[in-house]
Structure 1
Amino acid sequence: MRRKDGMTATHIEGSFTNRLVDDVQAIARAGLSEADLTRTKAALIDYLGVALAGTSEESARIARGFVEAEGGHPRSTLIGTATKTSMSQASLVNSIAAHALDLDDTSIFVGGHATSVIMPAALAVGEALGSTGQDILVAYSAGVHAMSVVGLATGAESYARGFHNTGTVGVFGSAVAAGVLARLDDDAMRRALSLAATQASGLKAVFGTMGKHLNAGRAAANGVFAAFAAKEGFSAPDDGIEAPRGYQWTHSDRLDVDRVDRELAGRSGISGVVAKRHACCHGTHSAVESIRAAKALRDFADDEIVSVVLTARPIVRGTCDIPAPVTGLEGKFSLRYVSALALAGEPTTSEGFTDEKTRDPRLVALRDKVSVQVAEGMSFGETRVSVALVDGTRIDTNVNAISAVEDPDLDAHLEAMSLKFADLADPLIGADRAARVVAVARDFENVASCDELNGLLTVE
């Protein structure tokens, strides 16, 4: 199809939204395979930990204060509290909390954060409607699939334009998750997706500030509105993604259906969700692991380092290459600063990303020895590291820290997420309650509602 301005795109008129609706409704009807059920429960546990820990972050505190002052029909719980508000407001606040630490998972299919947008919406709507744990997990998985399909079809070009896929693509995921729980028929689901499309927003310009957290929060809340507005008959076109002047044309240059088929290869979108080990942009994680691998080969001191050269994909420019961060939030998007933390053996948890840490003389000195260059043809997530030492030694490492969990490794992944939750939650709710949360979440497909889970998560 050719645009009016002469640009071309892979696009079959009227088919994309219909196909997407068929896919997500099929997931809603069929439920989850054993492997995908494990993936969803691992994602739930990961979300609960990062969101609970994120409640003390300034962005979450401000959002929670605003919502509490505004009020709302008390249907859905603000995580970590006994306060209830409307579905959309709870989705907003809980999503901001989940994204605040930048410790939330990402999707390799989207190039953005999935669970911190979709799970808050699914839980908020599920609580309000009295949905079972199984219903919530299925709705979440359908939402991740929708986000993955739209992200694969449009995301790379959209991200290059300056859009933040977590916000722009995430709204489709939250709309589908809410729509599945609300039992939307095909016509209403198509309209919900178009209403999501017209609300799709989020800019990379706000990276390194609380504005990035808002991108996730608005995607969660806007998707909930889209689903319930569609349910009540709110009119919208049935092809707002692919229509002329629709999402495809405004946010990207193409709707690459072939890429969707090639990358998913018959898998569900949940198979592309990757958890984080470090509280910073996922684009920095391979640098951390590669530097740690270099240190394992030789435990060199600071004064032995002449230079550290990072080679990454071009996408890091404008994403995670803030050269000299002066705030903790900026540090999360600085390959040079994150590398300094790894070189110094400092933690890459939230403790490593404070305003004070970014100005630490030792870390600044190490940061200034790090340079970043880009190269085409590198794999997703890859960062090569070359450390030059004063004695002439050069240590080259290349550890790709961003890869999906394969089926044989799912049990170990579920255990890892349980341990991650304990690390984050034990200081807030105590080890006994934290262990109970994990037990409930690991059996979530058999629970009648999310009431017990919400009660256990209340920080006293």
Structure 2
Amino acid sequence: MSGPARPHAGEVLGRFVAESRWEEIAPALRHEAVRSLLNHLGCALGVAQDPAVTTALQVMAGFSGTPVATVVGQGRKLDPMSAAFVNCIAGNLLDYDDTHLRTVIHPAAPVAPPLLALAEQRGHSGAEVLHAFLLGMEVECRIGNAVSPGHYDRGWHITSTCGVFGAAAGCAKLLGLTAAQAWNALGIAASQSAGLVENLPSAAKNVGMGNAARHGLLAALLAGQGYEAAPAAIEGPLGWARAMGDAPQIEEITTGLGGRWEIARTTYKPYPAGIVFHAVIDACLQLRAELEVPPEAIATVTVAGDALLLARGDRVVRTARDARVSIHHSAALGFVRGKAGVAEFEMPAVLDPALAAFRARVVAELDASLPRGGARVTVRLSDGRERTALVLHARGSEARPLSDAELAEKFRDNAGLGGFAGRAGAALDALWALETAPDIRGLMALLG
């Protein structure tokens, strides 16, 4: 006789979302939710004047409903779905946001904006927002685990495609949906999942990200009003996972749910570049300090890494988007400028003749023995000497996390870039105290 049928993935996740209690979540994990939200909002403030953000705002404003949700850094409000769309784009735009390394998902960007918009509209407390935020990010990362690495390898932009599930789960919690309704919200989200790796160097990436945020909110709202989805919309024979990849590893979604938290493995970036390039930058900065020679004395730089590093980063650099995912540009910054801040990945740096000349001396090679996120950099000087640096755990990684003080300094830097340096201190105070805030409207006023 066959045993009892295994519950559907969405059923398990829906029950997890509906039954989770904030008081049962460990203090360290609650604090991580604050760190993640702080990092996300700082990234959004930093690009407040970027045309990609202001254009999205202009387009969405023409169709916005009642303006009740703050658009970060813009001094105006839109309806919750439109605000979620624009704020998601802002949080993810510079590739400076948080990362779940195993899947390369940026967990906060699709999840925080719809939650903040809903909470501002409906008056939810800071703790309620942080709770829903944690759950949404956990759901997206677990679904991502279940389809990795084949999903991304096929060309699906996993932050967008899995982010819609995280947004739906988080919004389901904030709306107080039942387990069955949350299950349906995830199934509805499955039909709204999209985003292509091919489009990452273009503004089409921004659209996929923004849609993940607003479509997740839409899924939860529809489920709350009685809309239903197929029970196996995620893992069924013609469901999301098989349509967009291989057979899902369901145990990655369900095993240890509520006990082992994927979101506890979130990392935060010290550099506004793809996470797999951080080890390259660290290694080059290390070699620069050790060698103490001018860039002109370096004949070649060989960067070795895993297949993802080469697939993402062995590219010609023509735009700022290219620079943020370039092995060659990352190495050039380490040796020529000795720093890798936001300005070092903008167009003036792309066009800098010194950086362009150095990029031409950088060679990328595959070393499948290196872990994801690691890199080995070998420098050959004009006089024939060689020196190598191996970085297995980059600064900001799970093994070398950024401190609260470093995250706060990053927030201040980003606020300054966006023109909000004067409000950074008050916003930080509000964020660190968010768990005890009766609502989030004071915080959103500071961010607006």
**Shorter-chain TM-score category?**
over 0.9
Q: CA deviation at 1:233?
A: 1.0
Summarize the alignment of residues 18-417 of structure 1 with structure 2, pairs less than 5 Å apart. Answer: 18-28=11-21, 30-259=23-252, 266-322=259-315, 324-345=316-337, 347-399=339-391, 400-401=393-394, 404-405=397-398, 413-417=403-407
Q: Gaps (5+ residues) in structure 2? A: none
Q: 1:157·1:253 contact (CA, 8 Å) conserved in 2? A: yes
Task: Please report the TM-score for the alignment, with normalisation by the length of structure 1.
Answer: 0.91
Q: CA deviation at 1:379?
A: 1.4
SS in 2 for 1:141: helix
SS in 1 for 2:302: strand
Q: CA deviation at 1:333?
A: 1.6
Q: CA deviation at 1:143?
A: 0.5
Q: 2:46·2:417 contact (CA, 8 Å) conserved in 1? A: no
- Distance of 1:214 and 1:112 partners within structure 2: 16
- Distance of 1:268 and 1:96 partners within structure 2: 26
Q: Determine whether 1:444 maps to 2:403.
A: no
Q: 1:341·1:347 contact (CA, 8 Å) conserved in 2? A: yes
Q: CA deviation at 1:374?
A: 1.4
- Distance of 2:120 and 2:262 partners within structure 1: 24
- Distance of 2:355 and 2:429 partners within structure 1: 40
SS in 1 for 2:317: coil
SS in 2 for 1:106: coil
Q: 2:142·2:252 contact (CA, 8 Å) conserved in 1? A: no
SS in 2 for 1:365: helix
Q: CA deviation at 1:267?
A: 2.2
Q: CA deviation at 1:28?
A: 4.3
Could you tell me which amino acid in structure 1 is paired with residue 114 of structure 2? A
Q: Gaps (5+ residues) in structure 1? A: 1-11
Q: 1:207·1:319 contact (CA, 8 Å) conserved in 2? A: no
- Distance of 1:304 and 1:263 partners within structure 2: 53
Q: CA deviation at 1:413?
A: 2.1
Q: 1:21·1:186 contact (CA, 8 Å) conserved in 2? A: yes
Deviation readout 1:317-364 (Å, 9 max, x if unpaired): 442322x21111211121111211111125422211222321221111
Task: Show the counterpart of 1:422.
Answer: 412
Q: CA deviation at 1:426?
A: 3.6
SS in 2 for 1:48: helix
- Distance of 1:315 and 1:214 partners within structure 2: 24
Could you tell me which amino acid in structure 2 is paired with residue 114 of structure 1? P
Q: CA deviation at 1:81?
A: 2.9
Task: Show the counterpart of 1:7.
Answer: none
- Between the two proteins, what is the percent identity of the paired residues? 25
Root-mean-square deviation (CA, aligned residues, Å) is 2.1
Q: 2:328·2:362 contact (CA, 8 Å) conserved in 1? A: yes
Q: 1:148·1:269 contact (CA, 8 Å) conserved in 2? A: yes
Q: 2:380·2:386 contact (CA, 8 Å) conserved in 1? A: yes
Q: CA deviation at 1:403?
A: 6.2
- Distance of 1:388 and 1:333 partners within structure 2: 24
Q: 2:310·2:364 contact (CA, 8 Å) conserved in 1? A: no
- Distance of 2:284 and 2:338 partners within structure 1: 12
Q: 1:94·1:120 contact (CA, 8 Å) conserved in 2? A: yes
Change (3 A) 1:126 1:383: same
- Distance of 1:136 and 1:156 partners within structure 2: 31
- Distance of 2:24 and 2:171 partners within structure 1: 16
Q: 1:207·1:330 contact (CA, 8 Å) conserved in 2? A: no
- Distance of 2:200 and 2:268 partners within structure 1: 20
Task: Please report the TM-score for the alignment, with normalisation by the length of structure 2.
Answer: 0.93
- Distance of 1:265 and 1:141 partners within structure 2: 11
Deviation readout 1:96-146 (Å, 9 max, x if unpaired): 011112111111243121111111121111112211000000000000110
Task: Show the counterpart of 1:5.
Answer: none
- Distance of 2:173 and 2:390 partners within structure 1: 42
Change (3 A) 1:13 1:243: farther
